[in-house]
């Protein structure tokens, strides 16, 4: 496929591409991670090309899963004229899942993504990432693990974007001062057409990343087996979610959780005092607030089929519960049993939302 | 102030546990709501317990406050009052928050009693989770000295750490702990009756403990004045406010852990607020050239302040729950202080006193009107 | 997808000569949010309305924005056209580009710019309008009369008709202040017969239901649809529905205990006029048991404290004088007065006749009732500054009327203002003396100000007459369409909305622990929606979304 070699680091390359597209009116606005006033970082929707100097698409931070933001933008109606969206592979996959759940619309969106080397936990932003960035990019170049990143990123095998229109090669023996920009779709090609840079015809399959993938798979095996969920039962669940304070931050950060009013926050999940009294009599003691483990089990049932392993949940947990580890492990089992990969194909229906008479026979009569 | 001085058996927690056991045994109460260490060991959760044996494993005075007690009590009595007589072992700020929630019909206080204690403060939850044993030891020292750098910032400036103005039933005095003893005072008839039923005669004069309380109050007031005067300059104006909250990622955790925030669905999470037509977002960009997503960071904090500041008990749960360690409770405690002064209102001091936001007075706040009387 | 039609009215030259409608039209077209833009010279004219109706049908709009004059002028006009054309009239936003733009400035550019912003804001808003159904209820023609004195009874009898019930609520027994008197001026006829006749008329009327020893606990609702809670004498709480209310709660005599120079309550044989007739029903006698040989009647007691004249007491005092004279012909009766109030045709004559019967009239500037040497004595100063002393056996103090506790209570309950003295305030002192600012609530009798029986009777009848003419049986009442509603799933039952509702329209459903809006009582003020922190309470036609859409454009 067509590739474009740009003699600049990925963020600069993307800035150039977006500036070009705004100038040529190929898009009315662009969406990307950006530096904002103060010391913060946030996703931004930008129409003024002057502000492009602030964007930092591959900066290793995910303050919020951008799939949720694109859902906010397009849930009510699709955008009417083109917008270029720069986001990470897991965010794009999560967005596709949201489309299947009628929570987002893809019309007029052009997706730019990149081979993802992971992000730091959001609290790392507190101390500043300046000292760590060099090491980050170095590790990315040589394809080495970086222990300070989100665990979800360190075990993620799906770090090459599936469905973007344009993909930037980063890391994996890639020199960070040049960027290879692959046009994966015709839309992507048309987007870049006319840009004043060196074009190369490269039959660039995204090679050289198998090492990274394998290393991550190994680490995942270790992390998952350490979790010992096989021995869990209720005791295990109570242990791992024991510190839970029922804040539901994990649900609000999760791109797949999209309900307007979560069942566990609705009146239907509240109990009358008499219920508590009966429970108290039977068990001798009762934890308050209630439904701590039940909430997580409920969320496991609802979400794991589409879980993309972004790791936002662990990041926002105020008591450092390894939510993402539990969820991605269970998600793998669930998704494998349906041979389903969330976000791989927007036409592919979510298995638990379809009814097939003859399936899962292995689970017995 | 009449009460009883009780020499410590082993430590503070065991001594209080014994009293709780007696109170259950003598049927002064049907159940006790008290923190217990969680199975994995690095945190605490509230347990409502009837079985006296389970009381053995409780920690009445935990070093952290991961769940604000009012939230635990709310689950129990939101839909009606408990028929069981429950004794809640809670910090003063948790009791005060419960009183506020009672005014908002989220908690029913019939059959609910409170055992409070002089609260030296709470450590930051994440610090504790990282090193629970070390923190436990640290906390034992803290109870003796009442000094720490590792408290929540809200605790260092808290003036409501003792029994004054607290509508509790029983109070445990900890300020004068040097001789390995604690004091217990009944603050209500129920409290008095319960103590006498378990054989604790309140014939000692505990007024001496007040000197210690005053000393601590003095220090806290000095801390508070200093902190607030520094804050005033930092947080003023739209820019100051924005910069103060610039690390905020809009996760809304602060709202979720806050005991006062009682809405089933926060206005700022509602789809009307969060989802607009795409063209509206694009129109918003306008002259600025760009908008951030999510876009209501400042509005969320200002909105939350305007909804709950009158009832804010400055417990610090917000800051404890913030993944970016934004000093939320500092800002909210400061604004709460100013706003509560305007109405001469102290949250949690009296269940009968309505929150100013619940009442309508035609004739008030004239001092905030401008010369034209338009305000 | 919304299909918005924008209409630009030229309003003759008023709008067209100031606003650049061509420019506005082009800009709005560029925005791409409206389906079509139409222009007309005078949209409110017959021709204009016809044009509007036809245009709606032709274009198939589902909502309109009309840029024209003030909503006060023609909002209803256009809403009627829409209804007739099959469009819900609330799918509409009228933009005032005349009073608020064209008429505000001669600067055409500025006016056009402002109008454009306003129109854009309205277009944003109307996208989120929802159809609102207009509901009607049957207007209740019954009446509630509060107060069973002569005024209330008169009003009840006049209002009770074949298709109309009247509920007469009285705190004690029927009769009111009339029960204080034995005879009436100027006829000196006995009260008993008159009162009995009136009470019989009330009790005998099938359309009137009397509640004695009962109390009105609360009144909610509005004209045509009041809901009153009554506690009956059996301490039962019942609910009554009525379309109008008459307040005939009366007044009470001023009691001069605090005025030490009159000796009321401290000296024996000192009475106030309102108790005298009752006390002396069998015989007129002093404490010692003997009939008094001399009686002084003092007018205007407490007048300075009250600050107003109670109109009836001079004549009442003369009546008492004659009453005494008729029974004790030898008694010396002296009337001490400052000024005599004798309005109307009957009173001059009454006064002269009273004087002819031997009653002495003395004018004073200062007066005091004391006890000297075991005897009551009137110490007084005349206009010529001479000081005098008159020993008497009995003193009767004539005091005026003051508002009773019922006035304050009902004023609060029904949102009626009171005047500076505490009496109910009428809508207009000259032109509308029995109405109040609260539609459907009327006042009559001494509750509105001191007066005599004939005035009270006239007012009672007047109030009844107002009800007969304004609330007709079988009439329909349009309810407020822009009411509030509370989302059951979002409401958490905190009750803040209940506290801020001025109309008692929001209550708590204890079982579901949520608040519920009674849409019949709701007046669409929006307080609850504003007070609700989560947005569970929603004000139809003024939702957060609609307002922020409009404001988003204005504040851009």
Q: Which value does ipTM take for this structure?
A: 0.92
Q: Is the pLDDT of residue A203 over 60?
A: no
Q: Are strands B44-49 and B31-37 parallel, antiparallel or unpaired?
A: antiparallel
Q: Where do runs of H (alpha helix) occur along C363-472?
A: 405-414, 453-470
Q: Average pLDDT, stretch A144-157?
A: 94
- State how far Cα B350 lies from the chain centre: 16
Q: Is the pLDDT of residue A363 over 80?
A: no
Contact C544 B265 (CB under 8 A): no
Structural element, H or E, at residue B241:
helix B237-244
Q: Which residue has the tokens 């979720």?
A: B256
In degrees, to the nearest 5, what angle opens at C-alpha A291 toward C-alphas A285 and A294?
120
Q: What is the pLDDT of residue B286?
A: 79
Please give the full DSSP string across C388-409, using - where no structure is assigned.
EEEEESEEEEEE-EEE-HHHHH
Contact B292 A36 (CB under 8 A): yes
Residue of B105, B283, B307 lying closest to C493 (CB–CB): B105
CB contact, 8 Å: C490 with chain A? yes
Q: Is the pLDDT of residue B361 over 80?
A: no
Q: Is the pLDDT of residue A176 over 70?
A: no
Alpha-carbon distance C32 to nearest alpha carbon in chain B (angstroms): 11
Q: Is the pLDDT of residue A281 over 80?
A: yes
Residue C246: φ, ψ to 5°: -115, 125
Contact B104 C494 (CB under 8 A): yes
Q: What percent of chain A stands above pLDDT 90?
A: 66
Residues of chain A found within 8 Å of residue B48, distances taken between Cβ atoms: 276, 280, 285-288
Residue A112: φ, ψ to 5°: -115, 125
Q: What is the pLDDT of residue B177?
A: 65
Q: Is the pLDDT of residue B43 over 80?
A: yes
Chain A partners (3+ C-beta pairs within 8 A): B, C
Judge contact between B198 and B26, C-beta under 8 A. Answer: yes
Q: Where do runs of H (alpha helix) occur along C248-302?
A: 273-279
Q: Which residues contact A315 (CB under 8 A, 6 or more apart)?
A: A62, A121, A122, A123, A150, A253, A324, B323
Q: Average pLDDT, stretch B86-94?
A: 97
Q: What is the pLDDT of residue A296?
A: 96
Residue bearing the bigger pLDDT, C331 or A37: C331
Judge contact between A18 and A84, C-beta under 8 A. Answer: yes
Closest alpha carbon within chain B to C32: B279
Q: How far is CA A181 from CA A60, A138, A328, in A?
A: 19, 20, 30
| pLDDT tens per residue, range A213-259 | 999 999 999 999 998 888 888 889 999 999 999 999 999 999 999 99
Q: Average pLDDT, stretch B198-202?
A: 92
Q: Which has the closest alpha carbon to B118: B55, B38, B211?
A: B211
Q: What is the pLDDT of residue A318?
A: 94
Q: What is the pLDDT of residue A204?
A: 58
Q: Which residues contact B143 (CB under 8 A, 6 or more apart)?
A: B12, B61, B120, B174, B177
Q: What is the pLDDT of residue A199?
A: 60
User: Band of the pLDDT at A94, cuts 50, 70, 90?
Assistant: very high
Q: What is the pLDDT of residue B90?
A: 97
Q: Which of residues 514-543 of C touch A (CB under 8 A)?
A: 514
Helical packing angle, B92-103 and B69-77, nearest 10°: 40
Judge contact between C270 and C395, C-beta under 8 A. Answer: yes
Q: What is the pLDDT of residue C343?
A: 85
CB contact, 8 Å: A76 with chain C? no
Measure the CA–CA gap between A313 and A65, rounded to whole angstroms. 10
Measure the CA–CA gap between A258 and A269, rounded to whole angstroms. 18
Q: Which residue has the tokens 């008023």?
A: C14
Residues of chain B found within 8 Å of residue C543, distances taken between Cβ atoms: 272
Residue bearing the bigger pLDDT, B95 or A212: B95
Q: Which of residues 85-144 of B touch A (CB under 8 A)?
A: 125-126, 129-130
Residue of A125, A266, A281 lying closest to B247 (CB–CB): A125
Is A131 exposed, middle or buried (CB count within 10 Å of its CB: 0-12, 13-18, 19+)?
exposed
Measure the CA–CA gap between A168 and A160, rounded to whole angstroms. 10
Q: Are strands A29-35 and A41-46 parallel, antiparallel or unpaired?
A: antiparallel
Q: How far is CA A222 from CA A116, A155, A186, A214, C419, in A?
A: 22, 10, 41, 13, 85
Alpha-carbon distance A298 to nearest alpha carbon in chain C (angstroms): 19
Q: Average pLDDT, stretch B120-133?
A: 93
Residue A333, number of CB atoms within 10 A of its CB: 11
Q: What is the pLDDT of residue A180?
A: 84
Contact B126 A318 (CB under 8 A): yes
Q: What is the pLDDT of residue B365?
A: 81
Contact A280 B47 (CB under 8 A): no
Closest alpha carbon within chain C to A267: C489
Residue of C493, C494, C544 lying closest to B272 (CB–CB): C544
Q: Which residues contact B74 (CB under 8 A, 6 or more apart)?
A: A289, B98, B101, B106, B107, B259, B262
Contact C512 A266 (CB under 8 A): no
Q: What is the pLDDT of residue A365?
A: 60
Please give the full DSSP string across B119-184, using - where no structure is assigned.
----B-HHHHHH-HHHHHHHHHHHHHH---SSB-HHHHT-S--SSTT---SEEEE-SS-TTSEEEE
Q: Average pLDDT, stretch B40-62?
A: 92
In degrees, to the nearest 5, what angle opens at C-alpha C103 toward C-alphas C101 and C104?
65
Contact A260 B250 (CB under 8 A): no
Measure the CA–CA gap between A284 and A277, rounded to whole angstroms. 10
Q: What is the pLDDT of residue A355?
A: 83
Q: Which of C1, C486, C489 to mutate against chain A (most A CBs within 10 Å)?
A: C489
Q: Which residues contact C344 (CB under 8 A, 6 or more apart)?
A: none
| pLDDT tens per residue, range B167-177 | 999 999 988 76
DSSP code of A276?
H
Q: Is A207 left (phi over 0), alpha (psi -120 to 50) or beta?
A: beta
For chain A, give the number of residues: 365
Judge contact between C146 and C411, C-beta under 8 A. Answer: no
* Tokens representing residue C525 in the block: 């003020």
Q: Is the pLDDT of residue A297 over 70?
A: yes
Q: How far is CA C351 from CA B368, C337, C345, C518, in A?
A: 60, 13, 11, 59
Alpha-carbon distance A266 to nearest alpha carbon in chain C (angstroms): 7
User: Band of the pLDDT at A191, cuts 50, 70, 90?
Assistant: confident
Closest alpha carbon within chain C to B276: C545
Alpha-carbon distance B129 to nearest alpha carbon in chain C (angstroms): 33
Measure the CA–CA gap between A171 and A163, rounded to whole angstroms. 19
Q: Tell me the three state secondary structure of residue B223.
A: helix
Q: What is the pLDDT of residue C438?
A: 86
- State how far Cα C45 lies from the chain centre: 38
Contact B290 A78 (CB under 8 A): no
Helical packing angle, A292-303 and A323-337, nearest 10°: 40
Measure the CA–CA gap between B260 and B312, rounded to whole angstroms. 7
Residue C301: φ, ψ to 5°: -75, 120
* Tokens representing residue C142 in the block: 């019954």
* Tokens representing residue B212 in the block: 């210690």
Instruction: State which residues of chain C have pLDDT below 50.
Output: none
Measure the CA–CA gap between A114 and A169, rounded to whole angstroms. 6
Q: Rounded to a whole number, what is the distance in angstroms from the first to the last CA of chain A?
A: 49
Beta bridge partners of A3: A182, A200
Over its C-alpha atoms, chain A yields an Rg (Å, rounded) of 22
Q: Average pLDDT, stretch A41-57?
A: 94
Q: Where do runs of H (alpha helix) occur along chain A?
A: 10-23, 66-74, 89-100, 124-127, 130-142, 151-154, 186-192, 210-227, 233-240, 249-253, 273-283, 292-303, 312-316, 323-337
Contact B106 C508 (CB under 8 A): no
Buried b (16+ CB within 10 A) or exposed e, A177-190: eebbbbbbbeebee
Helical packing angle, B237-244 and B209-235, nearest 10°: 120
Measure the CA–CA gap between A305 and A338, rounded to whole angstroms. 9
Q: Is the pLDDT of residue A171 over 60?
A: no
Global pTM value: 0.83
Measure the CA–CA gap between C370 and A236, rounded to whole angstroms. 96
Beta bridge partners of A287: B47
Q: Is the pLDDT of residue A48 over 70?
A: yes
Q: Which residue has the tokens 């934004």?
A: B326
| pLDDT tens per residue, range A101-114 | 999 999 999 999 99
Closest alpha carbon within chain B to C498: B358
Measure the CA–CA gap between C199 and C196, rounded to whole angstroms. 5
* Tokens representing residue A38 in the block: 């103060």
Q: What is the pLDDT of residue B372?
A: 67
Measure the CA–CA gap between B333 and B316, rounded to whole angstroms. 8
Q: Rounded to a whole number, what is the distance in angstroms from the first to the last CA of chain B?
A: 46
Q: Which has the closest alpha carbon to B341: B365, B374, B317?
A: B365
Closest alpha carbon within chain A to C511: A272
Long-range pairs for C262-268 at CB < 8 Å and ≥24 separation?
A: C262/C298, C262/C301, C262/C368, C262/C369, C262/C395, C262/C397, C263/C369, C263/C370, C263/C371, C263/C376, C263/C395, C264/C397, C267/C369, C267/C370, C267/C371, C267/C376, C267/C395, C268/C376
């Amino acid at each position: 496929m067509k590739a474009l070699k740009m003699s600049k680091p990925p963020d600069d390359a993307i800035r150039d591409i977006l500036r070009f597209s705004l100038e040529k009116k190929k898009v009315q606005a662009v969406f990307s991670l950006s530096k904002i006033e103060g010391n913060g970082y946030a996703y931004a929707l930008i129409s003024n090309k002057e502000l492009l100097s602030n964007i930092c698409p591959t900066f290793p931070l995910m303050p919020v899963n951008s799939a949720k933001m694109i859902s906010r933008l397009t849930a009510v109606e699709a955008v009417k004229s083109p917008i270029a969206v720069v986001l990470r592979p897991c965010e794009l996959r999560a967005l596709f899942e949201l489309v299947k759940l009628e929570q987002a619309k893809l019309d007029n969106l052009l997706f730019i993504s990149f081979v993802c080397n992971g992000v730091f936990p959001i609290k790392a932003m507190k101390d500043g990432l300046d000292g760590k960035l060099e090491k980050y990019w170095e590790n990315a170049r040589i394809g080495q693990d970086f222990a300070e990143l989100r665990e979800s990123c360190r075990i993620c095998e799906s770090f090459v974007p599936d469905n973007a229109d344009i993909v930037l090669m980063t890391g994996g023996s890639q020199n960070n001062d040049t960027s290879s920009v692959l046009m994966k779709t015709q839309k992507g090609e048309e987007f870049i057409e006319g840009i004043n840079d060196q074009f190369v015809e490269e039959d660039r399959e995204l090679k050289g990343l198998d090492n990274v993938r394998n290393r991550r798979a190994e680490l995942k095996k270790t992390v998952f087996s350490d979790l010992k969920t096989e021995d869990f039962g209720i005791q295990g669940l109570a242990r791992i979610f024991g510190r839970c304070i029922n804040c539901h931050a994990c649900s609000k950060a999760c791109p797949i959780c999209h309900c307007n009013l979560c069942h566990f926050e609705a009146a239907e999940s509240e109990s009358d005092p008499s219920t508590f009294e009966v429970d108290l009599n039977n068990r001798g003691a009762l934890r308050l607030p209630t439904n701590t483990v039940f909430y997580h089990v409920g969320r496991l049932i609802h979400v794991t089929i589409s879980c993309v392993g972004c790791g936002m949940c662990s990041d926002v947990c105020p008591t450092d519960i390894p939510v993402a580890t539990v969820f991605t492990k269970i998600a793998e089992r669930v998704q494998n049993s349906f041979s389903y990969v969330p976000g791989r194909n927007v036409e592919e229906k979510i298995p638990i939302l379809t009814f097939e008479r003859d399936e899962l026979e292995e689970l017995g009569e | 102030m009449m009460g009883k001085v009780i020499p410590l058996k082993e430590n503070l927690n065991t001594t209080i546990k014994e009293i709780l056991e007696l109170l259950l045994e003598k049927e002064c109460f049907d159940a006790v709501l008290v923190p217990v260490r969680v199975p994995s060991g690095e945190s605490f959760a509230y347990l409502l317990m009837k079985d006296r044996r389970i009381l053995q494993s409780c920690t009445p005075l935990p070093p952290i406050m991961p769940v604000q007690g009012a939230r635990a009590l709310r689950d129990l009595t939101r839909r009606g009052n408990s028929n069981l007589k429950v004794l809640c072992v809670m910090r003063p700020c948790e009791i005060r928050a419960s009183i506020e929630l009672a005014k908002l019909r989220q908690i029913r206080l019939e059959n609910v009693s409170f055992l409070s204690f002089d609260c030296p403060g709470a450590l930051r939850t994440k610090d504790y989770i990282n090193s629970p044993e070390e923190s436990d030891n640290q906390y034992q020292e803290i109870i003796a000295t009442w000094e720490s750098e590792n408290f929540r910032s809200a605790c260092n400036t808290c003036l409501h750490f003792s029994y004054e103005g607290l509508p509790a039933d029983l109070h445990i005095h900890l300020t004068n702990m040097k001789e390995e003893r604690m004091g217990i005072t009944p603050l209500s008839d129920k409290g008095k009756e319960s103590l006498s039923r378990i054989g604790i005669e309140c014939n000692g004069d505990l007024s001496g403990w007040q000197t210690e309380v005053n000393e601590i109050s003095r220090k806290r007031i000095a801390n508070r004045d200093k902190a607030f005067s520094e804050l005033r300059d930092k947080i003023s104006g739209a820019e100051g406010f924005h910069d103060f909250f610039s690390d905020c990622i809009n996760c809304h955790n602060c709202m979720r852990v806050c005991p006062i925030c009682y809405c089933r669905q926060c206005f700022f999470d509602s789809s009307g607020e969060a989802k607009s037509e795409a063209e509206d977002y694009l129109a918003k960009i306008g002259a600025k050239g760009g908008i951030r997503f999510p876009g209501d960071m400042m509005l969320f904090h200002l909105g939350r302040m305007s909804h709950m500041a009158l009832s804010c008990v400055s417990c610090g749960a917000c800051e404890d729950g913030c993944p970016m360690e934004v000093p939320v409770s500092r800002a909210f405690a400061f604004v709460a202080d100013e706003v509560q002064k305007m109405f001469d209102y102290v949250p949690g001091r009296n269940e009968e006193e309505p929150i100013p936001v619940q009442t309508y007075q035609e004739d008030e706040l004239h001092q905030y009107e401008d010369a034209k009387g338009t305000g | 997808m919304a299909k918005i039609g924008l209409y630009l009215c030229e309003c003759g030259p008023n709008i067209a000569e100031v606003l650049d409608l061509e420019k506005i039209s082009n800009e709005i077209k560029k925005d791409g949010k409206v389906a079509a833009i139409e222009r007309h010279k005078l949209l409110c004219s017959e021709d204009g309305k016809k044009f509007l109706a036809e245009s709606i049908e032709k274009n198939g709009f589902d909502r309109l924005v009309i840029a024209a004059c003030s909503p006060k002028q023609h909002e209803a006009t256009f809403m009627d056209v829409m209804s007739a054309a099959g469009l819900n009239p609330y799918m509409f936003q009228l933009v005032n580009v005349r009073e608020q733009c064209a008429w505000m400035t001669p600067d055409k550019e500025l006016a056009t710019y402002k109008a454009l912003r306003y129109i854009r804001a309205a277009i944003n808003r109307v996208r989120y309008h929802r159809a609102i159904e207009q509901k009607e209820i049957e207007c209740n023609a019954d009446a509630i009369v509060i107060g069973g004195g002569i005024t209330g009874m008169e009003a009840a009898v006049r209002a009770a008709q074949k298709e109309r019930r009247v509920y007469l609520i009285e705190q004690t027994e029927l009769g009111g202040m009339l029960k204080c008197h034995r005879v009436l001026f100027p006829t000196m006829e006995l009260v008993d017969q008159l009162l009995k006749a009136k009470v019989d008329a009330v009790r005998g009327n099938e359309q009137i239901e009397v509640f004695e020893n009962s109390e009105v606990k609360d009144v909610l609702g509005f004209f045509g649809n009041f809901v009153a809670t009554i506690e009956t004498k059996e301490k039962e709480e019942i609910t009554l529905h009525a379309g109008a209310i008459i307040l005939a709660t009366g007044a009470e005599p001023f009691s001069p205990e605090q005025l030490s120079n009159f000796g009321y309550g401290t000296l024996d044989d000192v009475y106030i006029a309102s108790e005298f007739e009752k006390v002396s029903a069998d015989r007129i006698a002093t404490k010692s048991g003997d009939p008094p040989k001399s009686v002084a009647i003092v007018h205007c007691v407490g007048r300075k404290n009250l600050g107003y004249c109670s109109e009836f007491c001079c004549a009442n005092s003369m009546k008492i004088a004659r009453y005494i004279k008729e029974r004790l012909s030898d008694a010396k009766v002296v009337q001490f007065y400052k000024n005599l109030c004798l309005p109307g045709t009957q009173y001059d004559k009454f006064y002269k006749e009273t004087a002819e019967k031997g009653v002495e009239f003395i004018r004073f500037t200062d007066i005091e009732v004391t006890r000297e040497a075991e005897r009551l004595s009137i110490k007084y100063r005349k206009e010529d500054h001479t000081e005098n002393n008159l020993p008497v056996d009995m003193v009767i103090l004539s005091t005026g009327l003051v508002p009773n506790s019922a006035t304050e209570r009902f004023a609060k309950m029904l949102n009626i203002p009171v005047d500076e003295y505490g009496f109910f305030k009428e809508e207009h002192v000259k032109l509308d003396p029995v109405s109040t600012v609260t539609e459907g609530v009327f006042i009559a009798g001494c509750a509105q100000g001191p007066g005599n029986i004939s005035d009270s009777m006239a007012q009672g009848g007047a109030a009844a007459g107002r009800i007969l003419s304004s609330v007709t049986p079988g009439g329909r009442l349009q309810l407020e369409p822009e009411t509030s509603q509370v989302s059951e799933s979002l409401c958490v039952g905190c009750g803040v909305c209940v506290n801020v509702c001025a109309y008692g329209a929001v209550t708590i459903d204890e079982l579901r622990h949520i608040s519920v809006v009674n849409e019949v009582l709701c007046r669409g003020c929006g307080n609850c929606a504003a007070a609700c922190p989560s947005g569970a309470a929603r004000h139809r036609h003024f939702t957060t979304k609609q307002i922020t859409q409009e404001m988003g454009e204005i504040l851009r």
